[in-house]
A and B are shown apart, each in its own frame.
Chain A
Amino acid sequence: MKLELSARPDADEWLPVCDVDALTPGRGMAALLPDGRQAALFRDRAGRLYAIDNRDPFTGAQVLARGLIGTVGGRPFVASPLLKQRFDLETGRCLDDDEVTVAVFPVRAA
């Protein structure tokens, strides 16, 4: 099973990134996209996949893939490893600052 990601959601293009098993459940990995952006990929305990922009908007560093994931109020999130702000994995919204969001990429296992 491959993890596929859509970097351009409007174009219905799916980019194969890696084996799903390359991701440890509960942990993330970064991927380099063709246009130079970086995605943070995650797989949770139940096997669900998520991808958001890897760039931590608070520090500018490309590190979100190295954060810990969790669930709050039923929603999946990742906490930045630098200053610990949390981001919703499905919407990209920062849970600790209303004004900040990161991009979300559609992902699927195929």
Chain B
Amino acid sequence: MPHTPGAADPNQPTIVLVGHGMVGQRFLEALAERGVTARARVVVLCEEPRPAYDRVQLTSYFSGKTPDDLSLVPEGFMTEHGIELYTGDPAVSVDREARTVTARSGAIFPYDSLVLATGSYPFVPPVPGKEATGCFVYRTIEDLLAIEEYAKGARTGAVVGGGLLGLEAAGALKGLGLETHIVEFAPRLMPVQVDEGGGAALLRTIEGMGLSVHTGVGTQEVVAGDGGAVSGMKLSDGSELATDLVVFSAGVRPRDQLGRDCGLEIGERGGIVVDERCRTSDPAVFAIGECALAADGRVYGLVAPGYEMALTAADTITGQEASFTGADTSTKLKLLGVDVASFGDAHGTAEGCLDVVYSDSRSGIYKKLVVAADGALLGGVLVGDADSYGMLRPLTGSVPPVSPEQLVLPAGAGAPAALGPESLPDDAVICSCHNVSKGAICEHTTLPEVKKCTKAGTGCGSCVKVIQQLLPKTGDGGLCGCFPKTRQELYEIVQVLRITSYAELLDRYGREEAKGGEGCEVCKPTVASILASLSNGYILDGEQSALQDTNDHFLANIQKNGSYSIVPRIPGGEITPEKLIVIGEVAKDFGLYTKITGAQRIDMFGARVEQLPAIWARLVEAGFESGHAYGKALRTVKSCVGQTWCRYGVQDSVRMAIDLELRYRGLRAPHKLKSAVSGCQRECAEAQGKDFGIIATANGWNLYVGGNGGATPRHADLLAKDLSDAELIRLIDRFLMYYIRTAERLERTAPWIERVGFDHVREVVVEDSLGIGEELDALMARHVADFRDEWAETLNDPERLRRFVSFVNAPETPDPTVQFVPERDQMKPNLTILTLEGVSAR
């Protein structure tokens, strides 16, 4: 990269940062926060081809994050603070006498302060063959891109190293579809973090996922086949493992070469020696992050201590008092979907300490707390269920308010309701990534504010749950600024008092200041949904029409340019060729973009509002009805092909899916409802990821409830087994109606079950513990009897059709800003015209 260094004001001090990784970027932010960037020249030499990104979340690249998503640099940050960043141009030497740094491009930068933040490099054991094609490490985005590319031609992969990063790499290989092996020299996985019991729980779970684990063996040689590509590995027990790809993840070493070459003091086992203020043996040179050997004699391989060093160095440079004397190395990770956490004195090394252990090998849960003789919590290891990590870590060092036994027992097994974060002292550190205390968090009222002002929650994210618990609930727990009641309370009021209008509900039960007003965008659709599920009125009638979100108002889903998408119902995913042709013809005639959705239906995009009735007239005529893709209502019941065709099927899953979809279509709920029916336990319809999912057995049906995809996936729980058709339907009726009655606004069945407890739901639904079973049955019977297709009704009513115009004063004129441009033989929204006027989109 060409650049002319040295052009800056000679009187301005210059700070040169070498290495733009996680800690480097935090250091730059600290300089900006302290106003240093305004009065000093700041130069950054960055070896990688891209600016700093979130290495901790590296693996999320494989679950869809793009390199841009991972970036840690806020847009415009460098320009705003006048920082010179040179990507792809590493520092190659330092002349401490002349106080200059030379970059690979040949540019020479003078400095007043030099900060080394060069991180670590992955250690590759010196085994023969380690250079063969197909050997990789796991540290940078470039490493991941290379692994992804090579894996396309591979069948098997092996990871050398069963530590934290090794397991992460193994998860990535598995995700790429490779048969995956983990080779670990130590007798257990994650030897540094977990103890023997934790390692055993981890091993069982990971083997259960289909990975092969080889512990207690070393790698002796990588064997290359013809052409120099990896074909296998020789292990220390004499066995040979066939593999097409090897990832070395055997630990990291500090990148201290630059420091060594210019004569800085280096630790015996590597790392640039720094004092408590992060200064190296040359006071003009600092080292921070993983390349530094901290004053307590340790090299920290975690990001949180690195961030603390970044702040310490920035303070020292600006003449403030600061010191870094060591840090907590607690970690919580989700490895291959398994929660693993360790904190404090996890191995119980303190004198006289005791262990409290809970272990359930059936479900792969292992929890150990280390407790001092006086009862103070010293540390612990959690495997399989680390929910309590956010609470336990800040308690470390103090005597917990309940006994340690109660802290490890699962909820429901005699443990009291989990102790809440209210019981923590103000100085308890809640976010260990950014070292933020409970007191600092409690100065704010919303999560975005906490993240912006304290940075808590913006690192590994493991503390977010606790932060949310610490923030004030929306005042009194009311639905919104208009109602002091929860959705469930409003539901009861509407039901018992037979209220049929929003205005009446607001004027009688709203907050004083909201009575007689317009309500708001939160409570209007919520009340509309309650009214719809209790009175089954056509949802576009009368006052109700004013309450619905735009999607319900136009019975279609709004898209980014103001056009709409259309999803006709295709029950169970079964469709005749004739109907397929109709969809094709409609899409062609109206020029719509078509796509198969993720839920076995077809979406047609790009309709203008005034086209909706004409499109639906064609669809209704062909026998289609609304698919409710726009509603907080039943979406689809997916199905697999089932017994009729599939050689494994044991029941007719398609018929059941169609029956269920027709039974529950149009049912309005606190959030959308999804379902699926699989014809055998191979589960091709993914029923266990649905709000209610059904899997066929030789004797009937198994019913699962509370599954969820989305950002927080949840596997459904088995509610009842081997049900007949009638039993199945009765349980689903009750389950859905009880959910609709008691859930909060926008609470899917998964979080609802988590909140009210699965056992409670089972008792109410299966055992009728509240004695409301028949009432729930009756509500559902009414829904089924009263169902009417919203689109067919709309088309028959000129009054309702009046709203489907782009302009009230020019009903025939299409909105000129809804335009499309071609893409891959179809079309997509023309966004350029939307950005033409006014404030541009952001």
A residues in contact (CB < 8 Å) with B: 17-18, 22-27, 29-32, 36, 38, 41, 44-46, 53, 55, 57-63, 66-74, 76, 79, 81-82, 84, 86, 100
Q: How far is the CA of A81 from the CA of B816 in the complex (A)?
A: 19
Segment among B111-119, B710-718, B802-810 that sits at the interface with chain A: B802-810
**Smallest beta-carbon distance B453→chain A, Å:** 17
Query: Which chain B residues in 472-531 approach chain A with CB under 8 Å?
Result: 481-482, 503, 513-514, 516-521, 524-525
* Chain A positions within 8 Å of B806 at CB level: 30, 32
Segment among B254-262, B292-300, B541-549, B699-707 that sits at the interface with chain A: B541-549
Chain B 800-842 interface mask (CB, 8 Å, partner A; 1/0): 0011011111100101111000000000000101111111111
- Smallest Cβ-Cβ distance to A44: which chain B residue: B518
Q: Is the CB of B834 within 8 A of A59?
A: yes
Q: Is the CB of A27 within 8 A of B545?
A: yes
* Chain A positions within 8 Å of B482 at CB level: 70-71
- Smallest Cβ-Cβ distance to A5: which chain B residue: B809
Given contacts A60-B835, A61-B560, contact A32 B807 (CB under 8 A): yes
Among A25, A32, A62, A71, which residue has its beta carbon within 8 angstroms of that of B546? A25
Is B561 interfacial (CB 8 A cutoff)? yes
Given contacts A27-B545, A61-B562, A66-B554, contact A36 B816 (CB under 8 A): yes
Among B809, B816, B838, which residue has its beta carbon within 8 angstroms of that of A55? B838
Q: Is the CB of A67 within 8 A of B521?
A: yes
Given contacts A17-B808, A58-B842, A60-B841, contact A71 B520 (CB under 8 A): yes
Is B558 interfacial (CB 8 A cutoff)? yes
Q: Is the CB of B514 within 8 A of A29?
A: no
* Chain B positions within 8 Å of A100 at CB level: 839
Interface residues on B, range: 35 or more
Q: Is the CB of B809 within 8 A of A32?
A: yes
**Smallest beta-carbon distance B236→chain A, Å:** 58
Q: Is the CB of B839 within 8 A of A57?
A: yes
Q: Is the CB of B813 within 8 A of A32?
A: yes
Q: How far is the CA of A59 from the CA of B562 in the complex (A)?
A: 9
Q: Is the CB of B558 within 8 A of A26?
A: no
Q: How far is the CA of A22 from the CA of B799 in the complex (A)?
A: 10
* Chain B positions within 8 Å of A22 at CB level: 802, 808
Given contacts A60-B834, A68-B525, A71-B519, contact A41 B817 (CB under 8 A): no
Is B105 interfacial (CB 8 A cutoff)? no
User: What are 26 residue pairs bridging A and B, where the CB atoms are less than 8 Å apart in the complex?
Assistant: A25-B546, A27-B553, A29-B803, A29-B807, A32-B807, A36-B816, A38-B815, A45-B517, A58-B841, A59-B841, A60-B841, A62-B815, A62-B818, A66-B553, A68-B520, A68-B525, A68-B547, A68-B549, A70-B482, A70-B517, A71-B482, A71-B520, A73-B513, A74-B517, A82-B560, A86-B521
* Chain A positions within 8 Å of B520 at CB level: 68, 70-72, 79
Q: How far is the CA of A36 from the CA of B816 in the complex (A)?
A: 9
* Chain B positions within 8 Å of A73 at CB level: 513
Q: How far is the CA of A13 from the CA of B677 in the complex (A)?
A: 63
**Smallest beta-carbon distance B217→chain A, Å:** 54
- Smallest Cβ-Cβ distance to B545: which chain A residue: A24
Q: How far is the CA of A70 from the CA of B481 in the complex (A)?
A: 10
Is B550 interfacial (CB 8 A cutoff)? yes
Chain B 345-378 interface mask (CB, 8 Å, partner A; 1/0): 0000000000000000000000000000000000
